[in-house]
Amino acid sequence: MRKDFLPFSKPSITEEDIQAVGDVLRSGWITTGKHNAGLEQEMCAYTGSADAVALCSATAGMHCVLQAMGIGPGDEVITPSMTWVSTVNLISILGATPVFADIDRDTLLVTPETIAKCITPKTKAIIPVHFAGVPCDMDGIQALADQHGITVIEDAAHAIGTFYKGKHVGSRNVALYSLHPIKNITSGEGGVVTGPDKEFLNKVRQLKFHGLGVDAFDRQTQGRSPQAEVIIPGYKYNLTDMCAVLGRRQLAHIEEFNRKRLEIATCYLEEFRQIEGILPLGLPQGYDFTHAWNLFIVRVDLPDLDRNTFMEELKKRNIGTGLHFRAAHGQKYYRERTVVAPGGLANTEWNSDRICSLPLFPDMTSTDVTDVINAIKDIIAK
Ligand SMILES: *Cc1c(COP(=O)(O)O)cnc(C)c1O
């Protein structure tokens, strides 16, 4: 058994990164400034977006985006229940109703078919999730949304480096990227909203900083000029330059990080082909894509071993795991308020009970990977 605990995720931080954060600390300007502006520009360049706004989290970004779209009481927003609860919480906080679309049983992605079943005259937005780093069928979802005049917001928290038919995800819509430490790149905490429409992104930029007019920002420092005035009541969701500088350095390594993730995932896939009852996710057919491999998820589907026991047994063997995600509609607040037709979220529920995220991060060694595989073989043999 391994001596030290292997976490399921760990950011790749170098001495140079630490030095760069130290340089910001020594510079005299540590809050939102030139590194924030640099990160925004570099995210635009990498994702092929017209504009980007960096914030303290993707959740903060989603709050500003939904509010800037005018989502509120009487509106419905379609999103999977198999997602991080932040999206569902924000829809609820703004007084709108989350409507849960089921997912494909094998990929955990929402599809044009599962979304179509949820559309009503009240639907204002659809928020597909590019789950684990795999893009949804965006042509199909876009066609459906256009047909009904509904806005699409892409949850790309797992998808920095995810390409759909040769283009980075989020190229047509507002998209949200997370820089939380378990995502493909990190700024400690942080998030970026990208989009094709600069005017809309300016609304997000206002809301993220007290609702002050964008024109009042000093372009040099990205700070507020003394004459700035409130255009709309806003929040305090800005990203510090200590964080932004780390995000910039990480973004410069995204291709290399994702290549290592792919290598590790390929090893796992090879092994799990031979292990019955440990089922990796399937990959979507019918369109070209690049997988960012943010998560490596298996479904534990064995008669005498449930997922929770599997996770505990791995922990006893010094292997960390994650759960992405426990379905939102099964959690107390939503359980008491959500109407789900019987069998309506069957694939979400089946997966919610069986999924488990295994260790996957660029700095994992081949010994780490072997340790995970051997621990799983050991558990199953018992
Ligand atoms: C991590 C995550 C978010 C939120 O990102 P934060 O930066 O932590 O706010 C949103 N959606 C999904 C699917 C996520 O995994």
- Please write the tens of the pLDDT for every residue from 304-325: 999 999 999 999 999 999 999 9
Whether residue 71 contacts residue 93, with contact meaning beta carbons closer than 8 Å, is answered with no
Tokens of 148: 């009904």
To test the pocket of ligand 1, the residue of 81, 82, 155, 160 to mutate (highest count of ligand atoms within 8 Å of its CB) is 155
Q: What value does the mean pLDDT take over residues 157-183?
A: 98
The rounded percent of the chain whose pLDDT value lies above 90 is 93
Whether residue 210 contacts residue 235, with contact meaning beta carbons closer than 8 Å, is answered with yes
Give the pLDDT score at 1: 84
Taking domain 15-253, whether its CATH number is 3.40.640.10 is answered by: yes
3-state secondary structure of 110: coil
- Eight-state DSSP code of residue 56: S
Does an H or E element contain 79, and which? strand 76-80
Give the pLDDT score at 132: 98
CB of 59 shorter than 6 A to ligand 1 = yes
Give the pLDDT score at 213: 81
Give the pLDDT score at 307: 98
C-alpha to C-alpha distance for 223 and 213, rounded to whole angstroms: 12
Provide the mean pLDDT of the chain. Answer: 96
Whether residue 157 contacts residue 58, with contact meaning beta carbons closer than 8 Å, is answered with yes
**Annotated domain spans of the chain:** 15-253, 255-381
C-alpha to C-alpha distance for 354 and 337, rounded to whole angstroms: 24
pLDDT band at 226 (very low <50, low <70, confident <90, very high): confident
Q: What value does the mean pLDDT take over residues 137-151?
A: 98
CB of 154 shorter than 6 A to ligand 1 = no
Taking domain 255-381, whether its CATH number is 3.90.1150.10 is answered by: yes
Nearest CA to ligand 1 atom 2: 157
E-assigned strands of 205-288? 217-218, 223-224, 278-280
C-alpha to C-alpha distance for 244 and 252, rounded to whole angstroms: 13
Nearest to 169 by CA among 135, 126, 139, 127: 135
Q: Would residue 183 show up in a list of annotated catalytic residues for this protein?
A: yes
CB of 155 shorter than 6 A to ligand 1 = yes
CB of 178 shorter than 6 A to ligand 1 = yes
Give the pLDDT score at 216: 53
Whole-number Å distance, alpha carbon 237 to ligand 1 midpoint, is 15
Whole-number Å distance, alpha carbon 142 to ligand 1 midpoint, is 22
Query: Following DSSP, what letter does each residue of 5-46 receive, concatenated?
Result: -B-S------HHHHHHHHHHHHHT--SSSHHHHHHHHHHHHH
Q: What value does the mean pLDDT take over residues 345-364?
A: 98
C-alpha to C-alpha distance for 325 and 211, rounded to whole angstroms: 33
Half-sphere exposure of residue 243, counting CA atoms within 13 Å on the CB side?
24
CA 259: distance to chain centroid?
Answer: 19
Nearest to 148 by CA among 109, 120, 129, 107: 120
Give the pLDDT score at 215: 59
pLDDT band at 335 (very low <50, low <70, confident <90, very high): very high
- Please write the tens of the pLDDT for every residue from 36-93: 999 999 999 999 999 999 999 999 999 999 999 999 999 999 999 999 999 999 999 9
The residue from 124, 183, 203, 208 that is catalytic is 183
Give the pLDDT score at 197: 97
Question: Which amino acid, 257?
Answer: F
- Please write the tens of the pLDDT for every residue from 171-222: 999 999 999 999 999 999 999 999 999 999 999 999 999 999 865 556 555 5
3-state secondary structure of 111: coil
To test the pocket of ligand 1, the residue of 83, 84, 85, 360 to mutate (highest count of ligand atoms within 8 Å of its CB) is 84
CB of 61 shorter than 6 A to ligand 1 = no
CB of 180 shorter than 6 A to ligand 1 = yes
Lowest mean pLDDT among 187-196, 290-299, 334-343: 334-343
Question: Which amino acid, 158?
Answer: H
